[in-house]
Structure 1
Amino acid sequence: MKLVWSPETASKSYLDTVKLCEKFKESEVAEFLSAMAAGWNAKFIVESWSNNGPIITSFGLAVAARNTGARHVCIVPDEPSTVQYTKAMAEIGVSPPPEVVAGEAEKVIPRLLGLDFLVVDCKQREFDRVLRVAKVGNRGAVLACKNAWQRNVSGFRWNKALEKGTRVVRSVFLPVGKGLDIAYIGSTSGKVVTTNKGPSRWFKHIDQQSGEEHLFRK
């Protein structure tokens, strides 16, 4: 199984987010992530949020979750943050609201099994540890780091940040907002099941319609 791109769902989610966030400035990150999560038909979206931080990304992910029927979980540091986050989402009329889980993100993430779309904030010191302990589903996952400009200067590399054995199928850095670094990964184990008992090789295939690049072994 793998994630499959749907341009129609991506476009709908993008436009819905534009409408919801029209009164906010610099909302392109929310719109872009909303389109990505919906376009990849994410079924389990996870993000983290810090007290008094920008909340607009959650609006976009909530729109995507509504369009794909996904479970949407936001991790906040404590109970006061839960109240603040829930109130902010209610005030803008986000429905249904995301699930809110209070606790340290790196301790909560391992309990959220099977996620397929994860957004972390590079301003949070533990963002790399959160990436390392994420448990993705058997379709793989899309991992997104926002506010990534400063982090990239420090020499961040996906293959070093993720759990050993994770297969990074494709990654890209985009000049959206303060930088978005995105990776499409296989299952956490990075293993590809095959019935061929002889020597195997990796092959690259580019979808002529979507332009997607896929890696497979046979």
Structure 2
Amino acid sequence: MKLIWSPETASKAYIDTVKSCETFSESSVAELVSAMAAGWNATLIVETWCQGGDIATSIGLAVASHHTGGRHICIVPDEESRSDYNNAITKSGLLVQVIVGGAIEAMEGLDGIDFLVVDCKQDEYERILRVAKLGQRGAVLVCKNASSRDGLGFGWRSLVDGKSRIVRSVFLPVGKGLDIAHVGAKTGHVKGDKRKWIKHIDTQSGEEFVIRK
């Protein structure tokens, strides 16, 4: 099994997020991630949030989980952050499961993540991506506020385990920058299958494609 794209579900989530975030001046990120999470039929959506962070993205992910029937979990660092987060999300009329504590430790108890959003403003965002237990169907990984990141040494391939592969990655100038990667379904080695994965990088866009030959 692998993640299957549903344009109809993506459209519904996008429209509902537009309505839910109409009071926010910068909701383009929320609409995009909502459409992606719903379109890929994510069943376990996880995000990290810090005090003072954007709440619109959380609203978009909550809307997506409503359309997929999945779980939406937000990890916050402390009780003060949880209070601020709950107050903000409650005003939207949505409910989100919140985990308080270090994101690295919280990831240990979450298995089968198929949509993950982290904030590049967090010092440990790369470690969070490395320890995340992704689903067998594959996953979509999103780094928001990516424009503020020191890009030296960053590479998606180094952030996923050896059983996974990056199908495609792209940087979008949406909001303060979104760096997105689609991780393929985990597969074991098939006896007698000598086909190889060929990597190609578009020199103009920087997008990475993996083709099976």
Give the deviation of 1:191 after TM superposition: 4.2
Unmatched segments (≥5 aa) in structure 2 = 200-208
**Equivalent residues in 2 for 1:7-26, closer than 5 Å:** 7-26=7-26
Q: Among all aligned residue pairs of Structure 1 and Structure 2, give the percentage whose two residues are the same amino acid.
A: 56
Match of 2:195 in 1: 200
The equivalent of 2:50 in structure 1 is 50
Superposed, 1:179-194 pairs within 5 Å as 179-187=177-185, 191-194=187-190
Contact 2:47–2:75 under 8 Å retained in 1: yes
**Number of aligned residues:** 204
Q: Deviation digits for residues 79-119 of structure 1, max 9, x if unmatched?
A: 2211221111111212xx11100010011112100010000
**Aligned residue number for residue 65 of structure 1:** 65
**1:23/1:5 CA distance change after superposition, 3 Å:** same
* Aligned residue in 2 for 1:208: none
Q: Indicate if the aligned counterparts of 2:197 and 2:210 stay in contact, CA closer than 8 A.
A: no
**For structure 1, which runs of at least 5 residues remain unmatched after alignment?**
205-212
Q: 1:216 to 1:71 in 2, by over 3 A?
A: farther
2:74·2:96 contact (CA, 8 Å) conserved in 1? Answer: yes
Contact 2:17–2:60 under 8 Å retained in 1: yes
- Deviation string, structure 1 residues 21-78 (Cα, Å, up to 9, x no partner): 0011011000000000000000000001001222111000000000110101000001
Q: Secondary structure at the match of 2:133?
A: coil
Q: Secondary structure at the match of 2:50?
A: coil
TM-score (norm 1): 0.87
2:144 to 143, 146, 150: 146
Q: Give the C-alpha shift of residue 157 in structure 1.
A: 1.1
Q: CA deviation at 1:138?
A: 0.8
2:202 aligned residue = none
SS of residue paired to 1:111: coil
Q: 1: distance between equivalents of 2:8 and 2:193?
A: 41
Superposed displacement of residue 200, structure 1: 3.3
TM-score calculated relative to the size of structure 2: 0.88
